[in-house]
Structure formats: C-alpha cells, structure tokens
Structure 1
C-alpha cells in the first residue's frame, strides 16, 4: 500500500475553540516521507519553521491535544483534524495556520472530512508504513486506563462514565472495527461536549473562549441545551473515540492493533503512545507492497483522486 497526500491545496477559515481567535487554515500536498507537518504563518524567523509532528510534541493536554515545542511554539486542538487525516490515510501534509489553534468548525471532524474530499488525495511512490502492536501495553492513572493489544486490523473500544441524567439515558460504551464499519458514518459527526457549570472555570484559565452551541454540545444539570439535540443517541462516547483516533494518529502512521480505554482522555492517550514507543519489543514497522496481507480495516480507505 502506498503513502498518501492531498491532490490539491485547500483553505478554510474558522474560530479556535479555546483561544477564540479567528484562524485561516491551509492544507498543502507534501512529498513522500515528510509526515504530518505544521507551520504558524503568523510567526516570524525561526518560529515560523515547519514542525514535523511526533507524539513527544504533545505537551499540553488540557481539554485538547496541543503541540508545544521547546521554544514555545503552540499548535492547539489538533485532535479533530488528525482524526480526519487518519480516516483518509493521509501520511504527508503541510498544515499552515495564522493563529495558535486549529479551528473548531462544528466541533466534529466532519468539516475536515469535507475539506479532504474537496482537495482529493493522491498516492505517492513510496510504501505506507504501519505500526503493528506485538505485545499488550497498558497505562493506568487512578480509575482511568487505556491499552493496546495485538489485533489484525484496527479496532477501538471505549467506555465513558458520567453520572448525569443525559448520560444515563444513552450507551456509554461503543466499539468500532474498521474492517466492518465506516468512520465517516459512525464517528465523524460526533461533536465535542461540555457542561455549563464548567464554563466559568474554563474561561478563567483562558480555555473555551470560542465555544458556543454551534460548535459544541452544551449540557446543563438535566439536559442538552442544543435545540437540534444529538446527532447520534450515544454521541458523547463516539466523540471520545474520534478524539482517541486523532490522538493516536500523532504517531503519523496507521496502527495495526486494538485500542481499548476506560474514561480515556488526551493525556493518557499520549502517555500510551509514549510508553509503546519506549519499548521496541512491543511493536514492529511493516509495509504491504502487494496488499495481499493488508488487514481488511485498511482496504476501506477512501479512494484516491
């Protein structure tokens, strides 16, 4: 299977969920083996350099996954666009933005899916590299835990646990096996969510400044405040899966294995990746030159332009 990039450049404008700043975002084709790259066009000199994404650059996980480099360059809330890249198998792309945060759009990854559909994707003349899980890797923090296990495909199982009337009315566990189910249909429309009582605390920490009912599900003491209601009956846990897929794709390569989590979040997802990469006994890099042994989960990637 070959590496992928975009067929065309595409731009969009939006607002950062936490910064509240207006953002112009550009997605550009990139050559083979260049990876997922970011560049802040509002900065100058050395700070405007291209940053190639790796899991160890995720150094702020307060309510999002944010790149923070050693010299303080920030690219915030990357998990939704990374989730879209994962679903399309994008290996190489340059993401430019003129603000410190990726725009939130409608709170899901669907607007980024539309951007990728409009831009199209192209195969490159280089083999796609997959990371295959060979041994179980687990991270536990209090009552939260996440783990990788060997699996011939890609499967995500996640459980959330909120004691609240809205959550008690819906399933708080969801599993998706990408050999049989569609990311676009089952996951991409799920929006980020938050509680009214947390808004003041978030804003006192300069978070959530761009949030509103058009880009997040907002919940009060009893119910969802969004007039249109939920897009899925269990939209909350599906959004957590959307986030997890984006967090894991900071690796820049598809994972062959199963991810399972209980009350997972950005910090523990990143900790799992770092623990995995720290032990070469737990994984191997593989390619599939003729696609004959490629797991079924990756046959369903959207077709190239």
Structure 2
C-alpha cells in the first residue's frame, strides 16, 4: 500500500470510525495507544504503524497473498471454480453501506484523492513502462503476447469512453477501499457470508466504480452475470447512475491491465522468484486475471471481422462405385423408349 503518513492514518481512522458509528460492524475499529490514549499510531524503526480491532471470520483467499522480493504485497484471485457469488453480493452490499456512511468525508479538503482521471493516467504510465520491460519476453511467452494485444486495444477505447463522461471521470463522491482482494474479505466457515472488510490503507475519495470493479474481477473473475450481481447488490444500498453502470467494464479493464502487467513482471521476468513456492500461485493467478482481461477486451473492443474472400478450391471427385454396370450417355439425357410386347 501507500507509505503511511500521519494524515493518511488519520483519514483511514476517521473513515472506520464513521462507518462504525453508522452501525457497520464489518470494518475494524481503530485502537488507541495505551501509553498515549490520544494517539492511534506509533513510529517504529522509522515506519508508522496503527492498531485496529480484530474481526470475526477468516480471509476468503487461501494462497492468495504473498510478498514480492521487494516486500510488496502480492494479492491474487481465487481459483476460477470457487463459488463466490453469495460472498460477492454480501461484499457489494457492505461496501455500499460504507460508501453511504462516509460520503461527507469524501468532500473534505484534506481527503486523499483518487478520481478515475488519476487512475487512467497511472494505468497509461504503467502500461508504457511494463510494455518496454516485458516486450523482450513476448516472443517466447504467450501470456505476455496476450497482455500486449489487450493493452493495444483497451487503452485507446477506455480513454475515449472515460473522457466522454467528465463528471464520472473527475468525481470523488465516496471513500473507496481501493484494494479489494480475497485476502481482504473475511468470511464465515462456509465462506458464503462476508463478515468484514480489512486493510483500508488505500482508502481515498474516489468513484464507487473502483471498488465495484475490484469485486467483479479480483475475487472470482469477470463475467457479465457476475458484474450484474455486484451492481445489483450494491444498488440495493447505494443507487448508481446509468452512466456509471455502463462504465464499470471500462474501469475493470484498466485496473486489470495494470495488475496483470505487474504480475507478469513478477511471475515471468523476475528471476528472484525462481524456486519460491509462491511462483506457481503467482503465475496461476496471473493467468486467471489475464483471462478476465481478454473477456473485457472483447466486450469493449471487439476484434474486427476478417475481410476478403477465400479462393474456392474444388475437392477430390468421389470414386465410382464398383460392381455395377457402367452408365453411358449424358447425365440428364432422356432415356430411349421401352419396347412393348404384343
């Protein structure tokens, strides 16, 4: 996540407090220091840390959270066959309640800002950087070639679609979680009910579409039915504008383009992960997200149909059946009349 600062921690804690005050038990509560009750963070070895309450449940993800060689969190989706629809609907309703309860904080002048305009810019920059880095692997790595094809089609159309909706592009109407993955969703033993959402370090004022895109793609993979499930459950709590609903695939595709590019660099270009047990999980999760990215790419930028006619080549003639009399005469000619017997 982003480097912790006193201001960021204060904003996260204000968000959690506001949600808890609204009766939302599915987010942790900030804990104050015992030695300094007025403070909720401590500086340890040059880094800021805070304390939050434990929530019931356990992460939905098993083997979906690792650390890169540089210490950065690696979050991965669940296996594509994992049943997640009930949990997704719960999570969408829960995040809708948090968005509703914290709208006032999103308008604060000192709130961290994460509008879709910033996302579009950062994705374009990461796309260009990763394309230069991964381009050398394209010849021998199928996954890289697939990712490059998606990016070449997605970037132009996503830019046009978002810029055609300036109000949505610049809006910062809710406090977003900004990093929804299976490892951050807590569930009951059967994993059918989401009991909480943790790790709010990326909280910022932004568009609800970011959190909804994460739910629709980061957990079980994108599909039209799953996207409608997430939108429907969220809209039960916080209605969306038609324009926002139409832009969900665009936001999801941009997010996946950046995530897959970064994971490809880790799983296929970083030799430091060779021999690490996490490597197989990273590659598997990358392929799952890449499949979702390709699905979204075909939705937003359908491949052009192939033009040009094929030259007709006659096939081999059927062999004549043996054993019967050889027919003579011209095909279609009138046979001679039969003689009548007297």
Structure with greater strand share of residues: 1
Task: Please report the TM-score for the alignment, with normalisation by the length of structure 1.
Answer: 0.31
Answer 1 or 2: which has greater helix percent: 2
The two structures have a TM-score, normalised by structure 2, of 0.28
Relative contact order higher in (CA < 8 Å, ≥ 6 apart): 1
Greater C-alpha radius of gyration: 2
